[in-house]
Structure 1
Amino acid sequence: MDLLIQEQRPSDEVLPGRKRMLRSISEPFVLATPAGVRIRTRLRPTAAEESALAMIGEHLGRLYRSDLAERVSLGLVPAAQRQRTQRKRAITSRSSSRWAGAITRSAEDQYQLAMRALAAEISQLRSTVDALQKRIDVPVGAKINGIRGYQSRSERFRKTRRLAQIKGRLAVAEESLGAGRPRITVGGRRLWKTRNHLDEASLTQDEWAQKWVAARLFLTADGETGKRGGNETIRIGANGGMVLKVPAPLCETLGDHLALEVPVTFAHRRSEWEDRAANNRCIRYDISYDPVKERWYVDASWSYGDTPVPRLETLISTGLVGVDLNADHLAACRLDASGNPVGAPISIPLELAGRSAGSRDGQLRASITALLDFARDTGCQTIAVEDLNFQRARDTGRETMGRGARGKRFRRTVSSIPTGRFRDRLVSMAANRGLCVIAVDPAYTSRWGSQHWQKPLQASGGTVTRHHAASVAIGRRALGYPIRRREDGPRTRQRTLAGEPSPRPGQARRGPAVVIGRVRPAATSRQGPPGTR
């Protein structure tokens, strides 16, 4: 890209006596579409069927927890030494072959997820340790190489205690990762800790027990292509009838199969689900229970396989919509293939503060829907967003993002921006409409957009903010054009006058030129060649 890019340096390094160097800009890339789909509907079992589902879920849950504990005890070993065949045979005698396959597969997936989470925790703790150590090494009230020490000795002492605690946690996490034995709480560690704070959670012991039992149920069945309805363990026919295979120890009480009286219907993607079930293509089913609402749900999921990612050159040939994500709104602007703004930019509200998790997700979906409608109305097939990741800032926020009420307010703002969830929701919802999403490097988009594009956007009318200008900068970077522009040159007879346009931002104007031993003054817009007025 045509930018002034210098060698890459750490973002917190400032050379003495020199300005901070620009960091390298990553190339834009197309975000991959979701590899699968998951739909949900409600089950309406009778009282006897609810009791049977709970018995099956609790029995399989105990088998799943024992197999997961055995998998964790093996540690980080190659695939040939995970003993999945032996574990599956031991579980088959107490359930069935297909239930045993789903249990061992789920245990392996949970183990790998826990290992990734443990690695992410270690990275977070290391970032926190580095940020604390840098400030502790600086004397109280001093500033060395752009790093400011703590303001008082008492604050520095408290930070040293916190550093010691984090180092202890880091040592334990690194030991667990090296041994390949992460700590896993089936049912959720947060819910388990809530057991000791029932008053703060406004729960009774019975209510907590119901949540705990419901979270530890295991009613997951993997699909299999070629079998009736795409799944022999939990089968839902075209008429909506659901049949579950009962584990062997419970067959004397419940029979070989459990059939639900009330039919099951999927509203979302119904035609796609019916096509897969009719053609006996694999469908995975997950049954869960919500003790708060006292409702049973079933989820159906399947994968699309390898979906080809379109080429970037093809997507940007007709222009796109640049989007700037903020804490309380989305700023968007339409750009043509040449990188020029088309029409007036828009702002889409995104009010997430003070809402519950479900309400925040609904508001996020509504804002993304409005954004997709804007792209459809403007005739765009591509949306450009920033490749944001505030994880490092969240890890070291109290040390690097300001102090006092102002710093706390800024940290709260950064933490409230749903960067990862916004991108995931946008990609999946855009794929449903046949749109693609391009991610760009977020470096300097707000600064350069405000400097070079906020004033030109005023001509479109309405209120134009620096966030609208940032959306233009994001779109231009996705199209491969530079964000910064040259300043205007001479306005009058600029092709015949001997003036020269102003230099690029950050570059000094050329000094007087030397011609054969004498100094010739630099040309200006008022000087012209002989014979001109």
Structure 2
Amino acid sequence: MRGLREIAASFVVPGPSGVAVRTRIKQLTPADEEVLRLVGAHLGALAGRDLKARCRDGLEHEAEAWAVRKRELTPQSSARWAGSITKATHDQWALARRGALAHLQSLEAGVRTIRHRLSLPVGSKGAKRAPGGYRSRREWHAKARRLRVLEDRLERERADWEAGRVQVVRGGKRLARTRHHLPCAQLTEGGWRERWEAARWFLQADGESGKRYGNETIRISPSGEVSIRLPAPLRHLANAPHGRYVLTGRVRFAHRGQEWADRIEANRAVAYRIHYDTDRARWYVTASWQIPVSPTVPMAAALAHGVIGVDMNADHLAAWRLDTRGNPVGDPRRFFYDLSGTADHRDAQVRHALTRLLHWATSCGVKAIAVEDLDFTGEKTREKHGQKKRFRQLISGMPTSRLRTRLTSMADATGITVIAVDPAYTSRWGAQHWQKPLTSTTRTTTRHDAASIAIGRRAQGYPIRRRTAPPRTHQSDGCGHRTLQTGPDSPGREGPRPRIPGPRTRSVPPDTERTRATRKPNTVRGARSEQEWVQDSLLLTE
């Protein structure tokens, strides 16, 4: 086959470098909630002002400007609150900068595609890697107009990128646009306003090692007591010494609770974020801290007990277990999820599917999971796929980044290694070489199941193609040679056939010898048979 791109080498995915756990703050009094609202609104206004200053500086920002902004915020909050606000501002500006670069690259790809298709005759066929011309003169004219729109937009985005201008909305651009479509979002103006204000609050503080319980601003004791260092204008609301407010409610971290407790008892840094869920009318706190990255397991050690190949699809994960020789073992497994609904629902569906996958891997004794290193950044553009709107929606809805992050974190906690492989041609070659041989009257092998085998074999370093069959005259079976790859010490996979006594001819049944051995004789022992042949004595002649 010509035109195939080079396959990248597989690699072991490094473990996570941080941990984040969330729990609910229960038993809050109305006074506690009012204090949290006032503190969040005050610090949120300071964060918005600081973000505006950072965006105004653009590419000319330097460490001295950062220090100036922090000194301006300190009298209205505290030194630690000001440090948390400026750090969050820098992170938000950097995220917007990366988003602007991605949008710029997407516009360049769209302009390049349209220009190529406009240069071709109308109705010309396309190649595998290059699209053809447009189907009609009408479509050609519409795309020519769209090219001018994209070129103008690209020129503006390029000018903003060179000048360091970014577009940031505190609270989210989607929620801001929802204000103009309240009936479609099934929201009232009061409900939208509550969401908007809660999204713009600022209640997060970075940890500091060496301080009591790892955080001086938002402090949580081992017993679950939460205390907050109030900003300077709100010190009159304090109910504890040193300008602190202690909440009535208590918290308890169920997930990684012991790890969190050991960390705060050692006074190691822990960052906290308090936020309000307007749909449930509940307050939550998220604790996060850094952990040393787990040492990368050698590829050979990870594959010592086989591997599970996983093919990610729009509604399920297709998985198949492979032994050390690359042979599929057992039946394929499918872990379904539903990606419709809210973001929290989609995230929960992904977590549940990965939990079932990891439980199955643990029960099988497998220490490695192979997944594709997918990236649909440049594959879901409108100009590349044209009228394939359903396909663009399909690949846009696949949570590749979130699934990869979730799987890495959850697999590290269970001691399972994640191996990333090149996704090129796995579905095509898997269906070509494995779908038909593994389909039987009792098992239907899908294209996705075959792709999971291709992914697992690529992680093991084996070719996806099955072993070539010998000439037909040398095949050992009447229905074809068994072509599964196996070793000489695996008789359970491709060993000798069971011994069946009897001759191997078409005229005599294969169990003739066993039947004769158990059949009752018709003659009496010691008696001469009437049909026994006796040689006559030789005649002597003279």
What secondary structure is seen at the aligned counterpart in 2 of 1:238? coil
What is the Cα deviation at residue 460 of structure 1? 11
Question: Which runs of no fewer than 5 residues in structure 2 stay unpaired?
Answer: 477-482, 484-542
Question: Which runs of no fewer than 5 residues in structure 1 stay unpaired?
Answer: 1-18, 496-501, 503-533
What secondary structure is seen at the aligned counterpart in 2 of 1:226? coil
The size of the alignment, in residue pairs, is 471
Equivalent pair of 2:22/2:286 in contact (CA under 8 Å): yes
1:160 aligns with 2:144: yes
Whichever residue aligns with residue 204 of structure 2, its letter is T
Q: Distance in 2 between matches of 1:60 and 1:288?
A: 13
Whichever residue aligns with residue 51 of structure 1, its letter is E
Q: Distance in 2 between matches of 1:488 and 1:164?
A: 57
Whichever residue aligns with residue 224 of structure 2, its letter is G
Q: Distance in 2 between matches of 1:235 and 1:124?
A: 44
1:136 aligns with 2:118: yes
1:113 aligns with 2:100: no
1:234 paired residue number? 218
Identify the match of residue 301 of structure 2 among 309, 314, 338.
Answer: 314
2:460 paired residue number? 479
1:374 aligns with 2:360: yes
Residue range with higher mean Cα deviation, 189-198 or 107-116: 189-198
The C-alpha deviation readout for 1:298-355, integer Å capped at 9, x for no partner, is: 1111010343222223212221101111222222111122222222222222333x44
What is the Cα deviation at residue 432 of structure 1? 1.6
Whichever residue aligns with residue 316 of structure 2, its letter is H
Query: Over aligned residues, Cα RMSD in angstroms?
Result: 2.2
What secondary structure is seen at the aligned counterpart in 2 of 1:148? coil
Query: For 1:64-103, what aligned pairs fall within 5 Å after superposition?
Result: 64-77=47-60, 79-80=62-63, 83-103=65-85
1:275 aligns with 2:256: no
Equivalent pair of 1:138/1:147 in contact (CA under 8 Å): no
Identify the match of residue 53 of structure 1 among 30, 36, 55.
Answer: 36
Whichever residue aligns with residue 220 of structure 2, its letter is I
Q: Distance in 2 between matches of 1:447 and 1:170?
A: 36
Given the superposition, is the C-alpha separation of residues 144 and 264 from structure 1 closer, same or farther in structure 2, using an over 3 Å criterion? closer
What secondary structure is seen at the aligned counterpart in 2 of 1:322? strand
1:363 aligns with 2:349: yes
Given the superposition, is the C-alpha separation of residues 416 and 425 from structure 1 closer, same or farther in structure 2, using an over 3 Å criterion? same
Query: For 1:452-467, what aligned pairs fall within 5 Å after superposition?
Result: 452-458=433-439, 462-467=443-448
Whichever residue aligns with residue 356 of structure 1, its letter is T
Whichever residue aligns with residue 192 of structure 1, its letter is A
Given the superposition, is the C-alpha separation of residues 460 and 229 from structure 1 closer, same or farther in structure 2, using an over 3 Å criterion? farther
The C-alpha deviation readout for 1:58-93, integer Å capped at 9, x for no partner, is: 111111111111111111247545x22221111111
What is the Cα deviation at residue 180 of structure 1? 1.4
Given the superposition, is the C-alpha separation of residues 147 and 465 from structure 1 closer, same or farther in structure 2, using an over 3 Å criterion? closer
What is the Cα deviation at residue 402 of structure 1? 5.9
1:250 aligns with 2:234: yes
1:344 aligns with 2:325: no
Q: Distance in 2 between matches of 1:191 and 1:413?
A: 24
1:395 paired residue number? 381
Equivalent pair of 2:110/2:384 in contact (CA under 8 Å): no
2:272 paired residue number? 285
Whichever residue aligns with residue 268 of structure 1, its letter is H
Identify the match of residue 41 of structure 1 among 13, 16, 23.
Answer: 23
Whichever residue aligns with residue 132 of structure 2, its letter is R
Equivalent pair of 1:42/1:264 in contact (CA under 8 Å): yes
Identify the match of residue 413 of structure 1 among 394, 398, 408.
Answer: 394
**Superposed structure 1 runs of 4+ greater than 6 Å apart:** none
What secondary structure is seen at the aligned counterpart in 2 of 1:289? strand
What secondary structure is seen at the aligned counterpart in 1 of 2:379? helix
What is the Cα deviation at residue 105 of structure 1? 0.9
What is the Cα deviation at residue 161 of structure 1? 2.3
Whichever residue aligns with residue 441 of structure 1, its letter is D
2:405 paired residue number? 424
Q: Distance in 2 between matches of 1:178 and 1:412?
A: 32
Q: Which has the larger radius of gyration?
A: 2
Whichever residue aligns with residue 383 of structure 1, its letter is I
Query: For 1:6-45, what aligned pairs fall within 5 Å after superposition?
Result: 20-44=2-26, 45=28
Q: Distance in 2 between matches of 1:204 and 1:223?
A: 38
Given the superposition, is the C-alpha separation of residues 207 and 442 from structure 1 closer, same or farther in structure 2, using an over 3 Å criterion? same
Identify the match of residue 193 of structure 1 among 169, 177, 186.
Answer: 177
Residue range with higher mean Cα deviation, 375-384 or 131-140: 131-140
Q: Distance in 2 between matches of 1:196 and 1:412?
A: 24
Q: Distance in 1 between matches of 2:174 and 2:137?
A: 35
2:522 paired residue number? none
The C-alpha deviation readout for 1:186-241, integer Å capped at 9, x for no partner, is: 11111111222222222222222111111110111110111111101010111111
Q: Distance in 2 between matches of 1:494 and 1:194?
A: 68
The C-alpha deviation readout for 1:461-514, integer Å capped at 9, x for no partner, is: 52222222211111111011111235311254589xxxxxx9xxxxxxxxxxxx
Residue range with higher mean Cα deviation, 54-63 or 324-333: 324-333
Q: Distance in 1 between matches of 2:394 and 2:348?
A: 20
2:164 paired residue number? 180
Whichever residue aligns with residue 51 of structure 2, its letter is L
2:153 paired residue number? 169
Equivalent pair of 1:52/1:254 in contact (CA under 8 Å): no
